[in-house]
Structure formats: C-alpha cells, structure tokens
Chains A and B, each alone.
Chain A
Amino acid sequence: MSIVQKAAKILFVSVHLILLSGCWDRTEVNDLALIVGLGIDQKKDGKIMLTAELIVPQAVGGGGQMMGGGGGSGVSGQTVVRSGTGTTVADAISNLQEKLSRRVFWGHTKVVVFGEKAAKAGIRQHLDFLSRNPQIRLRSNVLVSKGTAKSVLELLPPIEQSSAEVLRELSESQLLLRVTIKEAMQMLSSDADVAALPMVKILPPEKGKKDLQTIAFIQRTAIFKKDKMIGDIDDKLTRGVLWLRNEIKRANVTVTLKGEKGNITATLIRAHTEFIPKYEKGKWKMIVKVTAEDDIILNGTKLDLLNPKYTKMIEKELENETNKRIRAALKTVQKEMKADIFDFADIFHRKYPREWNQVKNRWEQIFPTVEVIVETKAYVRRPGVNTAPQGLPEQEVKQ
C-alpha cells in the first residue's frame, strides 16, 4: 500500500470520526435566551416562582435603533422578564422554558435575587441548585430584595441596559456588602452557620417618570441564621459590620473637633482589621484591632492642617468615630440578633480547636457573651492638595 493510499485512508477515517461525534451540543447564539438576572420568590402556596431577566439582542445593537418599548409588564426595549413556577427552582425552570422560544442560557447570569419571603423560608436548596448547574457562575452576585425579586428585575433602569447590570455594578462598587454565590455557600457552611447578604430596595421613581423607570439599590444587609433570613440592618450598621469583616473599601468619616466650629471629613485610603482571639478561664474574648489610613477631603474649620498638633487631634476623633460605628454594629448584630456574621467562630476554632469543639454545639448561646474589645488606630496621611483652609483671610487661619 502506497503512502498516499495510507494517508487517504487515515484522512477518511479521521474526518468521519470528527463528524460522528458531531455537533451534538452545538447552539447558535441566536437560539439562546441570554439570562442576565435571576429572581427567586416564594408564593403563598409555598411554590417557587422563578423570574428571569433576559436580553433581547435585536433591540440592543444592529443599526443602533431601539425597538418600540413597553407592551405588557416587563417588556422594555432591551430586556424581557418572564416567570415560571414549580415546587423547586428546577421545576420552575422547566416551566419557564415552556414560555420561551429560545433555550435558557445561564452563562451570563450576573445577579441572583432572592425575594424576602423566599429568603425567610430558606435559601440552601436554591444555592445548591445554582452551584450544581454548570452554566451558572459562582462569581454571580447574590442579593436579597425587599419585596419580591420579580419587582426588582422588571424595573427599566434609565442608565444601564438591564436592572441586573445595575445590581452588578452596585455590588462591585463594594460600598456596602458584596457576596457571590461561592461566598454565600462558604458562609453557610462555616462554623458560625450564619450569612449576611446585601439587600436591595427600589428607589422611588422621580416625578413624571413611569413607575418602572427606576432602579433598585443596595441599602441594607440581610442577616441569615442557618439558611433563613432573621432580620436586616441599615447601611450605617452595615459599614460597622464591614469593619468587623475586614471588608471595608470606601468610607467617609466626618468629625468635629472640640472647641472648633465646622466639620472635617476624611476618606479612607486603606483599612485593615486584625483579630486576636483569647480564651481565658472559660471566657471568650476577641480583640479587634482596626487600622485606618485617611485623607482629609474637607476642612470646614479654621485649622491649618500642616500643624501635626491638629492632625493628631483629628486622628483621635476619627478613632472615636470609627469605634462608635463598630460598637453600634456589634450591639445590634451580636447582642440582639445573635448572629455571628463576623465569623468569630472560625477564628476561635483555629486558635483553640479543643476548647472550641466543646462549645461548638451551643455557639449560638456563647457568641453574644463574647467580650469584644475594639482598638482603633487612625492615621491622617495627606491633607489634600491644599494645606490651609481655603477662602479664609490668612490672619484668621490657626497655625
């Protein structure tokens, strides 16, 4: 057999081998329903209602012209919201698929929103489904909505393309809490067995705008025990929680100095929180060391900030203010809700494994009794591009 015949035979076989395996999972983009946001609600009869926000590509690009907006509920120029119901999320998806001409595709799902009711009923089984599905990304953001998830997703944001995109951008700004599917599951499976998820609220539309032309924004934090939501805290307390979770990224702190008129606002550049667990004579103690580095962005006083005496004073005030915020968060979350969302359990477990094992079954009772000592340290790094207070005659400035 000549080499040509041999090569021809091998080629023949290999071409058919490729074609045999074929294009069995081939899908064109035009046959996909690109789901960007997913909402999970619980109805009164206990059934799950799944809401999907999907992009209508025809309306987006092409010639750049928008298709005529607003027919029935949830129809905008660019996104469509559809719902399906079922006993579980998986059931609801098959129900949803019946109402869609294109195959659902979860690969670009950016946010998962739990309705308040669904959150109170328990989110573990939903998270299990989300993590089991190969298409859904574990990096998607998880949120809880005040009211139903559907009402959040069907909004028509004036700036972004979809309400899911709004929620993703807001999550990633990390002003308040940001939690992905992976982090949510990690929190629930940690020693503390509690979780904290960002909570969104619908911004009331401006006057003259239609009811749906608005966005939902992250305003609160929902606290979960086991996998059930037990309550929520507002944005101020959430910042205190962020300090305690070593997650604070952006914060402005405004202080007043004793004997001085006017405010001074500092903005955070870097923050770090260190936890030192202590177990002494059957008593659990946690020392929280907070270090913050700030820039001054506003000076309403007459002080010249180049003088280290004044910056020292400002630093002192900043420390007090931060300490106050953290204490407030501790009071609500530790003493009232008794939910260990700071994951102290894990920290104790690591340092005192034997002692912790003895109390791990009644950690819920022990956690509120943990003595927390908050030590804050603040540094003013820069006074901004101006040193002296602006708009003041030179003689009035206090050197």
Chain B
Amino acid sequence: MDVVFRPFKIGGKTKAALIYIDGLANIEEIDASVLIPLMKENNAKENENTDQLIPVYHILEQKLTVSKVEKVQTITACIEHISDGNPVLLIDQQSEGFALGLSNWEKRSIEEPTGESVIRGPREGFTESLGTNLSLLRRKIRSPQLKMKSMKIGEYTQTEVVISYIEGIVDQALIREVESRLNRIKVDGILETSYIEEFIEDNPYSPFPQVLDTERPDIVVASLLEGRVAILQDGTPFALIVPVSFYSLLQSSEDYYQRFLISTVIRWLRYIFLLISLLLPSLYVAILTFHQEMIPTTLLISIAASREMIPFPALVEALLMEVVFEALREAGLRLPKQAGAAVSIVGALVIGQAAVQAGLASSPLIMVVALTGIASFTIPRYTTGIALRMLRFPMILLAGTLGLLGIMLGLLMILTHMATLRSFGVPYLSPMAPMQVREMKDVLIRAPWWKLNTRPRLTRTDNIQRQGSDQKPDPDYGNDKTSKGKGGS
C-alpha cells in the first residue's frame, strides 16, 4: 500500500488528515513544514478559546510554512493532486482541503543526450521529468512571451502534456490546430511522444516522419524562435516540434554552432550521402544486371572478376547483404552493452571477410553495403535516416527488375509522395517545392548569422524579422559607420 493516510490533531483538538503517496511526496518537508507547526500549535495557545474551531484562513496564513498551496473542493481534484504527488491536507468540518506542493520523486539528472551528440554546443538534454524540461526551456527563454499550455492525455495515465510556443512569433491558427489535434486523442495512456506523433501526423501511412523529435532543449528553443510549436510530455525526454519540412529534418543543431562555410559544406555532404544511402545498392544491381556498358571497362572487369565465383545473381546478393547489415545494426542497438562488442566483431568478420572468402558476396558489394550504412548515419535525425534506409529495399527490387528505369520510377514515386506530404499545413519539401528563393539561405547553404535576418516562412505570421539588418562585423563600425552598425532594427 503506497497511499498513506496520516490522521492527526491540529493543536491537539481539531481532527485532520494528511493523504499522500509514499515515494512521490517529500516526507522531510511534510514533517518540517506541516506536521510540526500544526501539531505544536496546542502548546502556545492552549488556554485561550479552546473549544472553538481554528479557522481555515488562520491555518493557511499563520501555520502552514509551505509556499505552494492550492485549495481543493472536490474528491476528484483531491485524487488528481495526490496522484501528482502533492499531499492533501483535510481538516474536520471544513469544506476545503489543501493540496500542498511538496511533491518530490526520484528523477534522472540532466545528462548529455546520447542520440544527438555534438562537438560544440550545449550538452544538456531533457529528462523524464516535465518540470525539469520546462525549467530548461525557461532558463533559455526568459521572456514572458514564452507560453506553456498544459493538458492531460490518457484516460488512465493522465499524462501531462504541454504545448509550448512564443506568443508574438507563432501563428495563432497553428496553436489552435495543434490543440484541436491533441484534444482528439482518446487513449488509455501515452508512454512516449511517439504515441502523440502518430495521432497528430498529417499522413499516417508515410514512411517519412512529419514531426521532429528531439532530446535537446537548444533545438526546441531554436524552433520556438522560428515560430514553431513544441509539444512536451511528462515521462519522456523527447519533445515534438511541428511543423517541420524535410530539410529541417536533415539539419543538425551543430550546423548553427559551426562556422557557416563549414556548415554549408557539411550540409552538401549530407545531401550527397542521402542520395547514396538511398540509391547506391540499387545502382549497383541495375548496372550489373542491365547496363554493363555504363561503367568504365576496367571497373567492370574487376567487378566481374570478383563476382566470378558468386552463386547468386546481383539482386539476391545485394538484398542478402543489405538485410544482414540491417540485422547487425538492429542487434547492435538492442543488445546489452557487454554483448555489443561481440556483435561488432562478428559483424565485421561475417560481413567483411568471411562472406567474401566463402564466396557468398563479392568485395565490391561489401564496399557498397558499408558505404550505404555510413551514408545513412550522416543524417542527424535517426528517424529520417531509417526511413531512407528502409526505402532502399524496394529500390533494389525495382532496380533488379527494371534497371535504371526502375530506379527512376522509384525516385519519382518517392518524390511525388514527398511533394504531397504536409506537416501541419506546411508543404514537406518547402522551401524547395514550392520554391521560395529567399529561404534557400538556410537550405542550400547555411548563411552566416548576420544574414539570417528573417525567420523561415512556415505559416502565416506577421513577425518574420528575426534581427536587425547590417550586422556584418566590420572594423569600420568602430569609427565613422557607428550609426550603421547599431541601427537597423
């Protein structure tokens, strides 16, 4: 039994009870701020009007040394507070109880998020505690314009969910849309924001994520400043961000922390490797089975030489090795840490050497598989990378049946599908399709901060100016151009 009923008498006379759940409430605080002051009461004023009931306001104003006190009138409200961890104080013959803000439960400390590590940038990550997470956001945005709207989702879990946004930047229609989509959710319980994600997505059948999930407060804050909305949930370190486009899913927070030239190059590297992770195995299959004339003679001869003893057609060979790679990746994630090393050794030996020596796969294919694997991990969002990785299997099949024609067919299908996707009304491929040339500053390149003067145009919002213009650092600003340097906003 974890629910504790603690009956006692205030001043030795008035009956009262304290109800709380063991482990959720701070017992030391209860003793020090509630029980001691209330029970000691009787010593001081024993002789005065002893028969009279102590008025409630008197207790509240003079006796309870607790800062956060809320009056509760219904049993439902009582239960809610108790399950939140707040002890409830009930007093005999009073129609109101007091919910005391003395909840305190075990929580993980703030750690660096392992899934999204950076070289340069803040190293704190969200925890499972909603209060901690909200405080992390407040610490970064000190403006009162940062708003939090709370709601409960889950009939049994009663999980607290918070919609966070910055008033004045965000489009109010977007807030209403997010709220209405969240209000539609009627489930037993939610354990992770991915539950919410699946309920509020625009296209639930797409392999592509239409919501960004992150453990990093700095990403959430940057998104809020761009006019997006964050959805946080108690019990998980992952926050959701809507709306997003495909290109924002390909960005890493470090793009903005590094020098802009380097970020631009890295972005392009990512775009190229995105295509590689999707297409390389299928190109290998298509060229080896249909278009042998398309590669240099010497390359073809050396591939042919290494394939001479392989019993399978290129299609089967490629599928086999790609499946093995995916299995290795999955096993590496799920296995306990101690067994992980064993898996990587076995994987390296099996995939890298034994398969070639046993004549099951050719060494060029091993290279293709390895390169594909590496390529898919250059995409910073795991969910986006895995979508592309899974799409390469149908692509391999298409390449094996229709050759390059099949690859084109598959690419067109994927592109068409992506063009139809929307994330909370924002076209998925924007700003590329529909084309917005001004927004290319944060897609094709990463423009320096002193050029990123406007926010990305996601939805209809008036406040698009992010910062003053003309902030390019220049030694002349110290002298005659001072006014130019300061002005602009």
Residues of A within 8 A of B310 (CB): 30
Is A22 an interface position by the 8 A CB rule?
Answer: yes
Q: How far is the CA of A59 from the CA of B306 in the complex (A)?
A: 10
CA distance A319 to B2 in the complex (A): 109
Q: How many residues of chain B get a CB closer than 8 Å to chain A's CBs?
A: 26
Contact between chains at B288 and A29 (CB < 8 Å):
yes
Query: Which of B20-28, B136-144, B247-255, B396-404 is the interface stretch?
Result: B396-404
- Which chain B residues lie closer than 8 Å to A58 at the CB level? 305, 308
Flag if B297 contacts A30 (CB, 8 Å). no
Give residues of chain A (31-75) contacting chain B, Cβ–Cβ below 8 Å: 32, 34, 36, 55, 57-62
Nearest chain A CB to B358 CB, angstrom units: 14
Q: How far is the CB of A172 from chain B (nearest CB, A)?
A: 13
Taking a contact as CB atoms under 8 Å apart, the answer to whether B289 and A23 are in contact is: yes
- A30 to B307, Cβ gap below 8 A? yes
Q: How far is the CB of B354 from chain A (nearest CB, A)?
A: 16
| Residue numbers in A under 8 Å from B292 (CB-CB) | 27, 29, 32, 34, 105, 107-108
Against B, the Cβ 8 Å flags (1 = close, 0 = not) of A96-115 are 00000000010110100000
A110 to B303, CA, bound (A): 19
* Bound-state Cα–Cα, A26 to B397, Å: 13
State A3–B205 Cα separation when bound (angstroms): 10
A29 to B300, CA, bound (A): 8
Tell me the dominant secondary structure on chain B's binding face: helix
Picked from A3, A22, A62, the residue with its CB within 8 Å of the CB of B308 is A62
Q: A206 contacts the other chain (Cβ, under 8 Å)?
A: no
* B293 cross-chain contacts in A, Cβ below 8 A: 105, 107-108, 135, 137
| B301 in the interface (beta carbon within 8 A) | yes
- The residue in chain A whose Cβ has the minimal distance to the Cβ of B289 is A26
Most buried by A among B306, B309, B401: B401
Task: List B contacts of A3 (CB < 8 A).
Answer: 205
How far is B398's CA from A58's CA once the two chains are assembled, in angstroms?
Answer: 29
Query: Do A34 and B300 touch across chains, with their CB atoms under 8 A apart?
Result: yes
A196 to B173, CA, bound (A): 77
Whether a CB of chain A sits under 8 angstroms from the CB of B304 is yes
Measured CB to CB, the nearest residue on chain B to A78 is B301
Inter-chain CA distance A61–B293, complex, in Å, is 19
Across the interface, do A28 and B314 meet the contact criterion of CB distance under 8 Å? yes
Binary contact track A285-323/B, C-beta < 8 Å → 1, others 0:
000000000000000000000000000000000000000
Measured CA separation A346–B420 after assembly (Å): 56
Whole-angstrom CA separation of A110 from B297 in the bound complex: 9
Chain A residue nearest to B410 in the complex (CB): A18
Say whether, besides A18-B402, A61-B302, A25 and B290 are in contact (CB < 8 Å).
yes
Question: Are B305 and A62 in contact, CB atoms less than 8 angstroms apart?
Answer: yes
Q: Does B168 lie at the interface of the complex (its beta carbon under 8 Å from any beta carbon of A)? A: no
How many whole Å from B314's CB to the nearest CB in chain A?
6
**Residues in A neighbouring B340, C-beta threshold 8 A:** none
Confirm or deny: B425 has a beta carbon within 8 angstroms of a beta carbon on chain A.
no
Residues of A within 8 A of B308 (CB): 30, 57-58, 62
Q: Which residues of chain B have C-beta atoms less than 8 A from A29's C-beta?
A: 288, 292, 300, 303-304, 307, 314
Q: Does A21 contact B (CB under 8 A)?
A: yes
Query: Is the C-beta of A392 less than 8 angstroms from some C-beta in chain B?
Result: no
Q: Is B406 an interface residue (CB 8 A)?
A: yes
Provide the residues of chain B in CB contact with A385, threshold 8 Å. Answer: none
User: Restricting to B6-32, which residues have a CB under 8 Å from any CB of A?
Assistant: none
Cβ B300 vs Cβ A28 within 8 A: no
Q: Which residue of A lies closest to B312 (CB)?
A: A28
Task: Give B21-57 as 1s and 0s: 1 = Cβ < 8 Å from A's Cβ atoms.
Answer: 0000000000000000000000000000000000000
Question: Is there contact, CB below 8 Å, between B301 and A57?
Answer: yes
* CB-based contact B305/A108 at 8 Å: no
B304 touching A34, Cβ below 8 Å? yes
**Cβ contact within 8 Å between B304 and A30:** yes
Please classify how large the interface on chain A is, using the bins under 10, 10 to 19, 20 to 34, 35 or more: 20 to 34
Q: Does A1 touch B at the CB level, under 8 Å?
A: no
A32 to B310, CA, bound (A): 15
Q: Is A23 touching B400 in the complex (CB atoms < 8 A)?
A: yes
CA distance A59 to B401 in the complex (A): 30
In the complex, how many angstroms separate the beta carbon of A340 from the nearest chain B beta carbon?
Answer: 36
A32, A55, A105, A161 pick with most chain B CB within 10 angstroms: A55
Distance in angstroms between the alpha carbons of A291 and B290 in the assembled complex: 48
Cβ of B301 and Cβ of A21 under 8 Å apart? no
Per the bound structure, the CA–CA distance linking A62 and B402 in Å amounts to 29
B122 within 8 A of A: no
Q: Knowing A25-B290, A61-B302 touch, does A19 contact B313 (C-beta < 8 A)?
A: no
A216 to B313, CA, bound (A): 38
The answer to whether A60 and B302 have CB atoms under 8 Å apart is yes
Query: Which B residues are in CB contact (< 8 Å) with A32?
Result: 292, 304
User: With A28-B313, A29-B300 known to touch, is A60 a contact of B401 (CB < 8 Å)?
Assistant: no
Chain A nearest CB: distance from B362 CB in Å?
10
Chain A residue, CB-CB nearest to B409 = A18
Q: How far is A8 from B378 in the complex, measured between Cα atoms in Å? A: 33
Kindly state the separation between the CA atoms of A110 and B293 in the bound complex, as whole angstroms: 12
Task: List chain A residues, Cβ under 8 A from B288.
Answer: 28-29
* B303 surroundings in chain A (CB, below 8 A): 29
* Bound-state Cα–Cα, A22 to B402, Å: 7
The residues of B that contact A34 with a CB separation of less than 8 Å are 292, 297, 300-301, 304
Specify which chain B residues have a CB less than 8 angstroms from the CB of A135 in the assembled complex: 293
> Closest residue to B294 on the A side, CB-wise?
A107
Interchain CB contact under 8 A, A21 and B401: yes
Residue of A nearest to B205 (CB): A7
Find out whether the CB atom of B290 lies under 8 angstroms from the CB atom of A36. no
* Residue picked from A34, A36, A110, A137, most chain B C-beta under 10 Å: A34
Contacts of B398 in A (CB 8 A): 18
B293, B304, B314, B406 pick with most chain A CB within 10 angstroms:
B304
Residue in B closest to A23 when the chains form the complex, CB atoms: B401
By a CB distance below 8 angstroms, the chain A residues around B309 are 62
Q: Which residues of B are found within 8 Å of A108, using beta-carbon distances?
A: 292-293, 297, 300
- Chain B residues, Cβ within 8 Å of A30: 304, 307-308, 310
CB distance from A12 to the nearest CB of B (A): 14
User: Which residues of chain A are within 8 angstroms of B400 by Cβ–Cβ distance?
Assistant: 23, 26
Q: How near does chain A come to B299, taking the closest CB pair, in angstroms?
A: 10
Most chain A C-beta atoms within 10 Å of own C-beta, residue among B297, B300, B306, B310: B297
A61/B289 contact (C-beta < 8 A), A21-B402, A36-B297 known: no
The smallest beta-carbon distance between B298 and chain A, in angstroms, is 8
A23, A27, A61, A137: the one within 8 Å of B301 (CB): A61
Closest to B309 in A: A62
Q: Can you name the residue of chain B whose Cβ is closest to the Cβ of A59?
A: B305
Bound complex: CA A25 to CA B286 (Å)? 12
In the bound complex, CA of A309 to CA of B304 (Å): 62
Q: Which residue of A lies closest to B413 (CB)?
A: A14
Q: How far is the CB of B286 from the nearest CB of chain A, in Å?
A: 10
A62 touches B300 (CB 8 A): no
Chain B 256-294 against A: per-residue CB contact (8 Å), 1 yes, 0 no?
Answer: 000000000000000000000000000000001110110
Q: How far is the CA of A62 from the CA of B359 in the complex (A)?
A: 11
- Evaluate contact between B300 and A26: CB separation under 8 angstroms: no
> By CB atoms of chain B within 10 A, which of A3, A22, A107 has the most?
A107
| Additional A-B contacts beyond A18-B398, A161-B301 (4; CB < 8 A) | A29-B304, A29-B314, A34-B304, A62-B306
The 9 closest A-B pairs by CB, nearest first: A107-B293, A61-B305, A57-B304, A57-B305, A61-B302, A29-B304, A108-B297, A60-B305, A58-B308
- Can you list 13 A-B pairs, Cβ within 8 angstroms, ordered by A? A18-B401, A19-B401, A26-B290, A29-B307, A30-B304, A30-B307, A30-B308, A32-B292, A34-B301, A34-B304, A108-B292, A110-B297, A137-B293
